[in-house]
Amino acid sequence: MTVASELSFFASTDGDIAYLDTGTGDPVVLLHAGYIDHRLFEAQVPVLAAGHRVIAVDIRGHGWTANATKAFRWADDLADLLRHLDAGPAVLVGVSMGGAVAGDTAIEYPELVRGIVMSGASVSDFQYTHETTRQIVAESQRTLHSGDIDGWLKVFLKSVAGPFREADETDPRILDHLREMALHTISKHTPGERNWHVPMTDTWARVPKIDVPVLTVNGTLDSPDLLADAERFADTARNGRSVLVEGTSHFPNLEKPEEFNAIVLDFLRSL
């Protein structure tokens, strides 16, 4: 498991951005889901690094990266890091929130991106419409803002299982891994603190401008509205396609890492 001493740090204009940088070759950037960190990709890093330069980032406010003290956008942070590392154009592989970061960056900084893999994600201003999922999201926000960390963790781990399973139907090792990362990130924050992130808007209108290859990878047990929007994203981008991983939900890279890795490697070989 990664420890802080293995990470590098980029001194951004608002604190350090932490990242793991390993391997050589064409750059592949790994972007994690919300509330966790780069360790989401422990099963992907060594496989991808065998033939590529792999950069696994802790997004602002997560993992070992500094919290925001002023307004910021995900795409700007990532663009600054890629330029600092002379790592563009890169293939961006993002899960959940990380997939939205990849899409935003491709829209705002196309010169830095040569391909996108989005898993459990579509546009960055996506809104759930599936009722069970909306209930999970609402309960997550309520417990988080009230400071009920134990309650929030239960809801977070339920969201990992998806709307059609209970948390205890997921491999407990996966839940333990996610719990550890989530607690680390949550400990950096206080209930009710200001959210400095500036979201992009009208993203669907911009998706047709993405002219690099796009692959969406989703678990069949994930929220139906997310699956539909991921399919829409692949259809709306100029060069997109979608793949489903049977029997997984929001984190197919954790539930079926070998299948996920094979899908990503096939995509990389196609570029």
Render pLDDT for 216-241 as a digit per residue (tens, 0 to 9): 999 999 999 999 999 999 999 999 99
Contact predicate 16/7, CB 8 Å: no
pLDDT tens digits along 46-63: 999 999 999 999 999 999
Q: Which amino acid is at 227?
A: L
Range of the domain at 171: 131-186
Please indicate, yes or no, whether residues 105 and 27 belong to a single structural domain of this protein: yes
pLDDT of residue 4: 55
Angle value at C-alpha 207, between 205 and 213, nearest 5 degrees:
165
Residue 74 in domain: yes
Question: Is 162 contained in some domain?
Answer: yes
Q: Report helix, strand or coil for 15.
A: strand
Half-sphere CA count of 206, side-chain side, radius 13 A: 17
Q: Is residue 139 over pLDDT 90?
A: no
Please tell me whether the overall predicted TM-score, pTM, comes out greater than 0.75 for this model.
Answer: yes
Same domain, 107 and 65: yes
DSSP 262: H
Instruction: Read off the pLDDT band of 2 (50, 70, 90).
Output: low
Boundary residue ending a domain (165, 186, 207): 186
Residues in the chain: 271
Q: Is residue 191 part of a domain?
A: no
DSSP run (H or E) holding 226:
helix 224-236
What is the CATH classification number for the domain harbouring 43? 3.40.50.1820
Mean pLDDT of 152-158: 88
53 and 116: one domain? yes
